Structure 1
């Protein structure tokens, strides 16, 4: 089993790029013998805001990722830094970004950062 950690640090300012990255992540997750985790870090956590114009499209993309068994995680430190309130965000497991990256590397994951 190959494990991939896809790290998105691109925020809502680059929605077309983010949309492509979410689609790419889904394609990776659909490959045989591949486990994928999606980490939203830095400005990437802004994608989880539940009250923005692009929210329905992002929510649909994240739902498709969950259906493909992608583990969606968000950096707690980044959420605080970018003012994303926990009660106003799309669902994601909360982690400390740097610690999560280190753990994934320690477990042999390949990290893709965008």
Structure 2
């Protein structure tokens, strides 16, 4: 099955799943931003920001927003290992999409 036909046949399923994922991330970010930060959260945020400064190249630092405005996805959602969870979710979506489609041979002689 070609990629285009795969995407066309899966479009509704994919958009529905990605909408659910985006809405879930927005809800987590809203909940996280509305709760007050504890002392431990402030220390963790400061540590994460200092680590990001160490890996940042000086030539690119002028092009990026101020460090205070930058937050990782883990900080925004107040969830540990968000990148691995997103990877797992994307893998599940693609796997589910593949299992719900069946390619049938069309035309031509059967062997």
TM normalised by structure 1 equals 0.24
Query: TM-score w.r.t. structure 2 length?
Result: 0.25
**Structure possessing the higher radius of gyration over alpha carbons:** 2
Hey, which of these two has a bigger chunk of strand by percent? 1
More helix by percentage: 2
* Greater RCO, CA 8 A, separation 6+: 2
